[in-house]
Chain A
Amino acid sequence: MTTESQRSAAVLDGELLGRLDRRRPGLLVGALASGALALVFFSCWGYQIANGIGVTGLNRPVFWGFYIINFVFWIGISHAGTLISAILRVTNAEWRRPVTRSAEAITLFALAIGGLFPLIHLGRVAIFYYMIPYPNSRMLWPNFRSPLVWDIAAITTYIIGSALYLFLPLIPDAAVMRDRAAAGLKKRFYALLALGWRGTAQQWHSLEWGIRILAVAIIPVAVSVHTIVSWDFAMTRTPGWKSTIFGPYFVVGAIFSGIAVLMIALALLRRGLGLGRFLTDRVFNNLGLLFVTMSLVWGYFTFAEHLTVWYSGDLSEKLVHHVLLHGDFAAPFWTMVVVNLVIPVAVLSFPRGRRPLPTALVGCGVLVGMWLERFLIVVPSLSTPRLAYSIGDYMPSWVELGIMIGAVGVFACLYFTFTRWLPIVSVWEMREGWRHGARGEGEATSGAAPTSATAAAPVPGGGAA
């Protein structure tokens, strides 16, 4: 019996998967352009390895610079996906359905790039594995007291977790892709990803449990990752770094910048791929509300951090505080406050501001602001050491700039490639949402369901063999 729901499934498949069959020149151009940028990234890194870390602008006392800033920045962005999508899944927010996949892909790619930066930063990258606890005949172990070793453990866990978290919900979609593809390399590729998915009740049961467990487990992992990143700073005795609120402050900042990237990506996907029927105004409205909330929380943390430092009057802390608020770093500091707090609150407080274009523009501002925040944590503290004799300055070299810009290219290239070959909106989850909507369970994915999807018959998912 051909039910209406099966017909609606076909409509959905056609809309979301059909676009994967066509060549899309826009994506190709994007991938090539970002690929060229990615080349800049790798050649700059190669140049640095060949010539020594001295090709950067780092010096004494500013031993950490753009690489660490970008490390924190990209790890922050990685909180877009997994954390946001996991929270939305766990809280059963129906409007998450069109968002999760693109968010999880951001996580994985941003994390891969963020994880590279500490390696780029090393003086001797060839022996980076000394930081990994591997068995060796001389019984040499890393120093487990060092926050950097905690970092490695946390980021490795997170990268494995978020890769699984992206991959699991992808299996049914990959199975549909496999079934649609003509025999050949493409079919083999999708078959590999589908892991022999047949869409049996048993498989659906396992998958749903797997996703549920991962969604709950990934939240503390994500929180721990950025907390530990903050401890790279907060565990030291450097003025401006040793702060007890750095853990939650960094987590909030990470989610904040993560949503910013998500807003930009969704607006681009909606316009570029014509996904307006799935990425509805409601999605943008809800994410916009989350966005402005994080902006306010971030503002609160920033205020608390600086008020306590200023009030304490500790001399070396106050010196850092002074260069931040009134000295050499005042311009970036106040820019950060404007783009991270003033503008988001001014725009996103109003329903008209929570539409795709304004949210994406606010997102761009927040990205700049959050990058500046990391810059303002790393550089002023280091350039203002306790013994005034060593006060220093820092100017990044072209190598550092090349790697920073190139990293954006690597990210975009990965994202374009992903969008080209795999459905950026989770097809089976959309179907499931429509079914729920049709049954009146929870709230429907408003506006997205075609009128034909009224029947309540269960949809078998991919692998319609």
Chain B
Amino acid sequence: MQLRRVMQPVRRRHDALGRKISATKPAKKTGWYNLGGEGMTRWGMAIDLDRCTGCEACVVACAAENNIQTVGEEQAREGRAMHWLRIERYYEGDFPNVRTRFMPVLCQQCGAAPCEPVCPVYATYHNPEGLNAMVYSRCIGTRFCANNCPYTVRVFNWFDAEFPAPLDSQLNPDVSVRPGGVMEKCTFCVQRIVAGKDEAAQEEREVADGEVKTACQQSCPTKAIAFGDLEDADSEVSRWAESPRAFSLLGDLDTRPGVVYLSGSEWRAPAE
């Protein structure tokens, strides 16, 4: 199966009806979706796949930063591993000239997120800065959001989290530990965003580009991840998103992802 289809140019200038659209400045409202206000921050991420070595340091950093429970071998075998960020493998070329390519897949923080309208209790909603926020205490666990996510990036707490010693000593105090029966997913390290904004507010200035770093970005040895404000044309993430190599994952679904991928080469899925 060719995976070329998941790669769509990130900036279509017009939609099918001729309305102007772009990933960085989406329409204010389309159908069900409220896409946030004009001139506000739109948090976004760019991932350069040509730099990714698939080392999975980001996966580990994410788990440590966000108090993600470790479910153990048996549960993982049942398909219940809880990584908010996973490295998908794709192969390029024909045997024996095969090259493995890696794609970190995390919540795409869609501008028009399919997960949001289906939640009966507003446990997942769109915040003004373009994040798909989760309200854990509101979640009743219908798992409808996860079914409607085209990227399958939502993970569910099938049981109450357990952090046997000494794991409990490394819990991040800025992040809540989720109870069983609750959905969760990548938050773009919202606790770091909040901390960054607080610090900037203390010093009475704007948040500088590159000041807020997500855990995955911070831990990436090849600096394959950029994070920042997509509304700011000068930010690193905006400049990356302008690249001719940029694409959105499953962009034809028009979910307006906040994550942009960069890749210069042809892709193929693992041979089946």
Contacts and interface: CB of A to CB of B under 8 A. Distances in A.
Given A58-B158, A387-B105, A122 B88 contact: no
Given A54-B158, A59-B78, A389-B105, A131 B121 contact: yes
| Interface residues of chain B: helix, strand, loop or mixed (majority) | loop
A12 to B, nearest CB: 49
Interface string A48-60: 0001111001111
Interface string B137-159: 01111111011101110111111
A393 B117 contact: no
Given A131-B120, A145-B117, A387-B105, A236 B147 contact: yes
Contacts of A236: 114, 118, 144, 147-148
A235 B152 contact: no
B121 A60 contact: no
A385 to B, nearest CB: 5
Contact of B152 (A140, A315, A385): A385
A387 B6 contact: yes
B11 interface: no
Contacts of B158: 52-54, 58-59
B5 A146 contact: no
Contacts of B155: 60
Nearest to B272: A388
B269 interface: yes
Given A51-B159, A53-B180, A143-B122, A123 B141 contact: yes
Nearest to A315: B5
Interface in A127-177: 127-128, 130-131, 140-143, 145-149, 152
Contacts, number: 143
B214 to A, nearest CB: 21
A122 B142 contact: yes
B253 interface: yes
B139 A124 contact: yes
B237 interface: no
Interface of B: 1, 3, 5-6, 32, 75, 78-81, 86, 88-89, 105, 114, 117-122, 138-144, 146-148, 150-152, 154-160, 179-183, 249-250, 253, 269-270, 272
Given A52-B159, A53-B181, 5 more contacts: A51-B159, A130-B120, A130-B121, A236-B144, A393-B79
Interface of A: 51-54, 57-64, 118, 121-125, 127-128, 130-131, 140-143, 145-149, 152, 232, 235-238, 315, 382, 385-390, 392-393
